[in-house]
Amino acid sequence: MYSREHFAVGSVVSGLSVAVLRESFPTPVLIGLLAYGVLVSVFIDLDHFVVARRHAGDWSHLRACLTDPIFAFTEQDEVFEGVPGIQMRLERLLSHAVIGGVLTAALALVSVPVAAFTAVVVYAHVVADLVRDAGFA
């Protein structure tokens, strides 16, 4: 999915999750959770650059996006040009699952509700990716 779509999915899922948690936290914390959820939903995709680096042997994909950030958001179909598509899809989903699991487990040591919130946001992100990969969206 594109960043703008993950932003939308992350906003909806985070908003609904914050509504469920409204009795557990004060309003400023809920606002912070909403922002955190949207950021996690979008920026978990930075792992794609690590996957691309593994296949390309260099950081050229990351350099291209850092050099031209507009390109990174407007031409997302071309960002990982030259990286095998099927391998990229499989490895990014694996990476999302590992990152989500580790992040959720670490946060559970601090706050179980925040850990659950994180798990829901990452789960929604992965499901959105799978829906797109399956051709349903």
Q: What is the pLDDT of residues 33-84, one digit of tens each?
A: 999 999 999 999 999 999 999 999 999 999 999 999 999 889 988 999 999 8
For residue 40, give its domain range: 3-133
* Direct distance between the N- and C-terminal alpha carbons of the chain, in angstroms, rounded to an integer: 9
Angle at 60 between CA 67 and CA 129, to 5 degrees: 90
CB atoms within 10 A of CB 66: 11
pTM for the predicted model, two decimal places: 0.92
Sign of the torsion formed by the C-alpha atoms of 99, 101, 104 and 108: negative
Instruction: Give the residue among 127, 40, 137, 132 at the shortest CA–CA distance from 85.
Output: 132
In total, how many domains does the chain have? 1
- Give me the pLDDT at residue 93, please: 94
